[in-house]
Amino acid sequence: MHIADYSVTRAILERHGFTFKKSFGQNFLTDTNILQKIVDTAEIDEAVNVIEIGPGIGALTEFLAERAAEVMAFEIDERLVPILADTLRDFDNVTVVNQDILKTDLEAAVKQFKNPALPIKVVANLPYYITTPILMHLIESGIPFSEFVVMMQREVADRISAEPNTKAYGSLSIAVQYYMTAKVAFIVPRTVFVPAPNVDSAILKMTRRPEPAVAVTDEKFFFKVAKASFTHRRKTLWNNLTSYFGKADGVKEKLEAALEAASLQPSVRGEALTLEDFARLADSLKAEGLG
């Protein structure tokens, strides 16, 4: 029997008198086939260290610990720490850290692995209310995570993996795809959780690119330009850029010159631009002194 078996999960919760806190977005997975599929998708073996966020009562942690060299699980809810000590007592390769992942010194944390030279993968059922901040924090941390296999709301997974000229494509797609390739591996129905969330989930597999998808002179400015281009999705690129940079005559001339240099029509919408288009646009705007 696994922790994730429904009867085992209920027994653990009752034994410890655990009640769910909405503020932590707690939904525990009770389907061992899906957990097996997550670990298979992440290609976890003894040559990999794993970071997990929000282990809950250890359902996914158990599957990871059976295959990984080591698992470091970050749990913000201190009430779960003694429960995890109980449910994972048979594993000597799991460390539970009672910290908020957004406030953790990740560089110091990953040095605590017995063999920190091994590739590190992030495998987690992310809390829905804070998925994007956690992902961007990890991606931009400078830690060379080789891969992310993470569960999130299906809608967010669609946005991250979206292609240009689709409804889901936006600044989040660009922010992640600049660093990683992103693909939805499979869908997880809401019915396999306790308590059941209001939406279906998706497992998103993201693999770090050897180098960013495009070369830009200023990364921060590149992301700002991408974000500004989607401020009002239905508006043209020109309207969004003038909203962001201003409409003074000198600014308009520079915007026109930058768009021409980037071979972009002012009437195009942000959702039609590829990462390469945004790279050219950001560099052209910078060259015009707008960055």
- Which segments are annotated as binding site? 27, 29, 54, 75, 100, 125
CA 230/CA 221 separation, integer angstroms: 15
User: What are the tokens at 72?
Assistant: 């470091």
State the Cα–Cα distance between residues 4 and 151, nearest whole angstrom. Answer: 16
DSSP 45: -
CA 120, CA 146: separation in Å to the nearest integer? 6
* Contact of 240 with 270, CB cutoff 8 Å: yes
- Annotated binding site for S-adenosyl-L-methionine: which residue ranges? 27, 29, 54, 75, 100, 125
Amino acid symbol at 172: L
Percentage helix, strand, coil, to 5, in the chain?
Answer: 45, 15, 40
Tokens of 2: 């696994």
Residue with the two structure tokens 């539970």: 96
The C-alpha atoms of residue 250 and residue 228 are separated, in whole angstroms, by 19
Element (H, E) at 182: strand 180-188
Task: Quote the distance between the C-alpha of residue 206 and its chain's center.
Answer: 8
Please enumerate in sequence order all residues whose Cβ is within 8 A of that of 235, keeping only pairs 6 or more positions apart, or say none: 243, 269
Strand order in the sheet with 147-153: 94-97, 70-74, 49-53, 120-125, 147-153, 201-208, 180-188
